[in-house]
Every structure is written in structure tokens, then in C-alpha cells.
Amino acid sequence: MSTRIVALCGSLRSASRNQQVLNAAIDIAPSLDAIITQGKFDDVPLYNQDVQDAGVPPAVTTLAQSIANADAVLIVSPEYNYSVPGVLKNVIDWLSRMSPQPFAGKAVAIMGTSPGAIGTARMQYHLRQTLVFLDAHPLNKPEVMIGSYSDKFDEGKLIDAKALEMVERQLVSLIAWSKQLRAL
């Protein structure tokens, strides 16, 4: 059976380079016997316990269910102010309130791209810290940090051969990691 991966993108903008990296991963996945479905969260409100107490928004419960049903999660995100973008942290904060915890025991891979040299490294290590509380199992390697992105995209697509190879290699490792975890 194909490996089912739910993906989250930490940028909501239409011309997002990170979304374009995710699009490349979505295109590569079938050749690896995997299917990536993107989890949307642009309509998730800001976390507020009063809102939670009044009823968890359907967008959150739907996303939690799709993560719970998936074999693995892929997070592709920019770095904002040396850390995780607020929109992504907000949806993770919502998901962290769900019981059973959808991320628990789940294989998670992280990718990111930025115009600067270190390709979202600081965001990725902050995100790994958050994944500890969620009891997720982030993939260690290979890391996908696509820096200096200005010449790596063309007409809305990731075209850099080395970056595309890294995306594919990480997906291969994520699929293997999720199988290892599910066999435990």
C-alpha cells in the first residue's frame, strides 16, 4: 500500500517558494509509491482557549483526523525572524490540544527554503523542539535546507537539480522511517 503523507506548508502566500518546494515533493511522491495530501489551515483561527472551550473549530478537527490517518507528516516552511512562522505555530498549537494526539508516534520530515544562505536552519531546529512535546519522531537526516533560493526556481517551480535530489532523498528516508516506526 502507498505511504500516505500529510503535508503542511508554513507559508500561505500564493507565490510561496516553500509551497513550490512542497509541490515538487507532491510531484515526486508517486514514483516512490507515496501520496502527499496537503493539509490546509488558512481558516484556522488564532488559538484561544475560550474558542477551544466553546468547540474546537472543524478545520482543526479535520486536519487532526487527516494527520492521525496518515503514515507520516511533511512540514515545508519558511523561517520567520529566526524561527517558526506564526501561522504554522498557531495550527500546531491547536493540534497539540487534540486527544488522542495526532502527531504522537508519527514520522515527520522538515524542509524549507529561504533567500539567505542557511535555508531555514534556525526555523527547523526550533520546530524540532516543538515536535518533542507532540511526541512526534522527526527524521534526522537528510536535512533539506535550500538556501540562496533566487536562482533555484523558474516559473513557479523548483528547478535546481541538487535541491530536487535532496527533496527526493528525504522523501525516501521519510517513507522508510515511517515503515520502521509502524513496525514497532
Grid coordinates in use for 141? Answer: 537526516
Q: Find all residues with CB under 8 Å of 36, minimum gap 6, and list them.
A: 5, 6, 7, 22, 25, 26, 29, 74
Window of 47-55, 111-119, 136-144, 159-167 that interacts with ligand FMN by CB under 6 A: 111-119
Q: Find all residues with CB under 8 Å of 171, minimum gap 6, and list them.
A: 5, 25, 28, 29, 32, 34, 74, 109
Q: Is 46 exposed, middle or buried (0-12, 13-18, 19+ CB in 10 A)?
A: exposed
Residue (149 or 177) nearer to ligand FMN, CB = 149
Grid coordinates in use for 165? Answer: 535530489
What's the min distance (Å) between Cβ of 96 and ligand FMN?
A: 23
Binds ligand FMN (CB under 6 A): choice among 81, 99, 162, 184: 81
Binds ligand FMN (CB under 6 A): choice among 58, 116, 129, 135: 116
For 117, phi then psi, to 5°, come to: -70, -30
**Interaction between residue 114 and ligand FMN (CB under 6 A):** yes
What's the min distance (Å) between Cβ of 11 and ligand FMN?
A: 3
| Amino acid letter for position 13 | R
For 29, phi then psi, to 5°, come to: -50, -45
**Interaction between residue 79 and ligand FMN (CB under 6 A):** yes
Residue (95 or 158) nearer to ligand FMN, CB = 158
Residue (63 or 88) nearer to ligand FMN, CB = 88
Query: Looking only at residues 6 through 45 of this chain, which bind ligand FMN when binding is defined by CB under 6 A?
Result: 11, 13, 16-18
What's the min distance (Å) between Cβ of 116 and ligand FMN?
A: 4
End-to-end Cα distance, the chain: 18
Residue pair 102/120 in contact by the 8 Å Cβ criterion = no
Count of residues that bind ligand FMN according to CB under 6 A: 13
Residue ranges of E strands in 54-103:
72-76
Q: Which residues bind ligand FMN (CB under 6 A)?
A: 11, 13, 16-18, 78-82, 114-116
